[in-house]
């Protein structure tokens, strides 16, 4: 296992941090199966908060890694599109 001072590749980073996301997906599937009635699903607030925290941690860590390793524009920076046209929203 890499220490905090070792540099991780993007694939190593994703591999190490993907398991909590996979567990979260399985938990959500379980909750949907167990607590769904018709078009409504009931899930308690602490569980939803935990799911959000797990996903936020993954995204934040990923963005930090990309910011350190990517020579391209930083998050929130200006981006250009092939052909110079921005997509229409």
* pLDDT tens by residue, 42-88: 999 999 999 999 999 989 888 888 887 777 655 555 555 565 555 55
The predicted structure's pLDDT at residue 9: 78
d(CA 3, CA 80): 36
User: What are the tens digits of pLDDT across the range 15-31?
Assistant: 888 889 999 999 999 99
> To which residue do tokens 């190593």 refer?
12
pLDDT of residue 32: 93
Residue among 55, 77, 74 nearest 66 (CA): 74
pLDDT at 11: 82
pLDDT surpassing 70 at residue 89: no
């Amino acid at each position: 296992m890499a220490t905090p001072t070792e540099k991780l590749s993007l694939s190593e980073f994703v591999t190490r941090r993907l398991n909590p996301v996979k567990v979260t997906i399985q938990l959500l599937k379980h909750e949907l199966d167990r607590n769904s009635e018709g078009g409504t699903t009931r899930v308690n607030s602490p569980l939803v908060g935990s799911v959000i925290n797990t996903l936020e941690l993954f995204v934040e860590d990923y963005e930090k890694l990309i910011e350190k390793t990517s020579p391209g524009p930083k998050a929130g920076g200006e981006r250009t599109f092939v052909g110079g046209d921005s997509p229409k929203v």
